[in-house]
Structure formats: C-alpha cells, structure tokens
Amino acid sequence: MSHPIHVTSEIGKLKTVLLKRPGKELENLTPEYLPQLLFDDIPYLKVIQEEHDFFAQTLRNEGTEVLYLDDLVKEALHSDELRTEFIERILQESGAHVNGSFQRLKEYLLSFSTEEMIQKVMSGVRKNEIDATKKTHLYEMMESHYPFYMDPMPNLYFTRDPAASIGNGLSINKMRQPARQRESLFMEYIIKHHPRFAGKDVPVWVDRNYDFPIEGGDELVLSEEVIAIGVSERTSAKAIERLATNLFAKQDKIKKVLAIEIPNCRAFMHLDTVFTMIDRNMFTIHPGIQDPDGKMNVYILEKGAEAGQIKITHNTDLQATLKEVLNVDELALIPCGGGDEIISAREQWNDGSNTLAIAPGVVVTYDRNYVSNELLRQHGVKVIEVLSSELSRGRGGPRCMSMPLVREDI
C-alpha cells in the first residue's frame, strides 16, 4: 500500500472503503426523539444489518477492501492513556461535564473492554444503566424526563459525512447538527493513532475545530485538479472558502473548487443527495435543484494573485461549467426519475441520485429506485443494485454509507 488515503476522482476503481455496520444505536431511537436525532422512522435492526451486510459483500465482490469504523477505532485506542483521553473528550462533547455525571460515566465506560466501550459510546448510555444508589443529581433520577446520559449516534452508518478523502489527505469535519457533531472525533483518533494512518503523512486540509460546518456528503472529488462542494443545509460557504484556501496553500494538484448552491432543505441535505458523478462526462442530477430555465448558482474558486487570496467566478450553467473545468466536449446530466415531477421527487427522497461509483461507468444504487436505475442502464451504465427497504429510512444511499479511502487514478 503506497499511501493509506488516495482519492483523485469520484469514479476511479474503488480499492478501499470505510463502512459502519448499523448497530444498537438504532434501537435507542424512539418516536419522541426522532427529529433531534435526524431520523424519520425507526429501522428494524435485524433487517437493516442484513441489507448493510449485502451492501458490504457487493463491494467485496467487486474487489474492494472493506474496513469498519468500530474496528479502526478499537485498533487506534491501543493504550490505557488513549482510552482515557478518548472517553474524557467524548463525554465533554456529550455534555457530561455540564450535567454532573462526568466522573461516574467515565468510570462506567472504562470498565468495559475497548470493543464494548466503543459500542456503548456509539449506541448511547441510558440513565437506567447506572446503579440508582450512585445517582446524586435530580436529572439523573428523572428517567422519564429524558432517558439518556449520552445520546445514541444512529447516523454513524453514513460514514461519508464526518470526513472526506481528498487527494492524499482528508477533511475532518465540523458537522452542522448537534446529533452528529461527535462523529468526526472517531476519525480524528483513527488518523492520529491507528498504525495504518499514523505517521504516514496524511494531511488534514481542514479540521473539526473550525467554526463553520462542512460535511462529506457535500464534497465531491471530480478529478485530480477539481473538487465540487455543495453549499447546502449542512455545509456553509465560509467552510468551503477555508478548505479551498488551505488546499491552494498546502498542495499544488487541485486547482479549482466548485461551490454549487442547492436549496436549503432536509430532502436535499447534501450535494450528493441530488448530484453524483458516474463517469468522466456523466452525472446524475435531481431536476429540483435547478430553476425552471435549468439555471443554478455555481462559483469557481481559484488561487488568487496573492497568498491567501481567492479568485471567485460566478456562473449559472452547471453543465457548461462542468464541461469547462473537466475539459470535456460532451457531458450528460441524467435526471433522477427521468425528470417526471412525481417520480423524481419520490426516488430522490429514497436517494435515487445518491449513486456510488466503484469504477468508471459502474455504480451501486438502491434497488427501489427502478426508474432511475433503468435510465442509467439506457445510458450504458452498469448498475449494481443493493437492498434498501430499511437502509433508506435514514435518508441516505450507497454514497452516503461509504467513505472511499483509496481509488485508482483514472
């Protein structure tokens, strides 16, 4: 392995990917707390695990090495000092230092093996797990008022968002919603302390301590020289500009960053829910992100004349802009659902545009989006379908569920 992270496109053959198998964190979802935990429904754990296993095996069948988030975290926390430091930080970010239960929870979590400790942190800690005789605060005794010391992290199976591979480095992201902000701490520890990554010259282009949010579902590596980032419900323009500034200052391969503005709403939470790359000159798109004339705001960010300065060019034709920056004469934008108003809205809601390219012209999609899948096949795309009845309840598709670590160059 020449470098532990190497991603210079969205479509190069996928060699190594990071996944998170759905776990008991999903069984700590209840109707009352769905909105704050960013879910619309409660998946059936047994079936969602079967579907996710099918997804992982599909990738292995295509020659991809599959790594799991919890395994990497366990291997990164290889000393008592690291275990303790990690628990102290996750408790701090969970608010335990505010509610008076910090030391009690620290002792409880450190009493487990590393593997069990990580699963407990991910699935959440209920108040009824602590011996009642040890509770000293009013809120601890009121289990019916709020049942958790530490909230579960049900969105963890969407590994795309907490961090994003760009070139030989990555962004470790400050996430927008409180329910997800702790997730990127796992990747920080993996990069710093896991033997696969530690000391391997993995630059962090922007870290999770920056003031403004950015999420991996908005970050698309179009080529060795161009990345696209959505200005969305979850990613701010200020974070995009900071990432672009850092990239231009710290490396010389990426020349342009496209900032693509999409509507600010839950259905279109990330750019990759409405726009993904399939081949060198082929993309899926949800028509709902464009105005009736097919226009939308696209900004090209380039290195300015002086250090730290950014040159910004505004366009309104996405297709023409992509042809320009990718240096192609022809470029197809394939509409989700074939452009039918009802079908496209239904299939986009179930991630019809959230394709995962595993090689040029080869994509993994949800089976339920049969109209979009058939349209891709008509354009010569090899479509590999995976099961989706429970996975789709989290509002993310194959791209959302995967963080590429290594792709072949194209």
Question: Which whole-number Å values give the CA distances from 264 to 111, 153, 394, in the listed order?
Answer: 43, 23, 18
Q: What is the DSSP string of 156-168?
A: GG-TTTTEEEEBT
Question: What is the DSSP code (8-state) at residue 270?
Answer: S
The whole-angstrom separation of Cα 226 and Cα 222 is 6
Note if 336 is an active site residue. no
Tell me what pLDDT residue 272 has. Answer: 93
pLDDT, average across residues 11-23: 98
* Domain residue limits, the chain: 159-348
The whole-angstrom separation of Cα 43 and Cα 254 is 40
CA angle 69, 360, 378 (to 5 degrees): 115
Domain 159-348 has CATH 3.40.50.300: no
In this structure, of 3-12, 212-221, 334-343, 367-376, the range with the lowest mean pLDDT score is 334-343
pLDDT, average across residues 13-35: 96
The whole-angstrom separation of Cα 21 and Cα 62 is 19
Would the pTM count as exceeding 0.85? yes
Tell me what pLDDT residue 357 has. Answer: 98
pLDDT digits (tens, 9 = 90+) for 184-209: 999 999 999 999 999 999 999 999 99
Query: Annotated catalytic residue: which of 59, 240, 300, 400?
Result: 400
Residue 97 confidence (pLDDT) above 90: no
The whole-angstrom separation of Cα 387 and Cα 53 is 10
Residue 158 confidence (pLDDT) above 70: yes
Q: Would you state the torsion angle of the CA atoms of residues 235, 238, 242, 243, taken in this order, to the nearest 10 degrees? A: 20
Question: What is the DSSP code (8-state) at residue 353?
Answer: T
SS3 of 78, please? coil
In this structure, of 69-73, 75-79, 237-241, 392-396, the range with the lowest mean pLDDT score is 392-396
Tokens of 336: 């989700």
Task: State what percent of residues in the chain have pLDDT above 70.
Answer: 95
pLDDT digits (tens, 9 = 90+) for 268-300: 789 998 999 999 999 999 888 888 888 999 999
Residue 1 confidence (pLDDT) above 60: no
The whole-angstrom separation of Cα 260 and Cα 270 is 11
In this structure, of 13-17, 145-149, 276-280, the range with the lowest mean pLDDT score is 145-149
pLDDT range class, residue 140, cuts 50, 70, 90: low
pLDDT digits (tens, 9 = 90+) for 368-396: 999 999 999 999 999 999 999 999 998 89
Q: Which residue has the tokens 């799991």?
A: 68
pLDDT, average across residues 36-59: 96
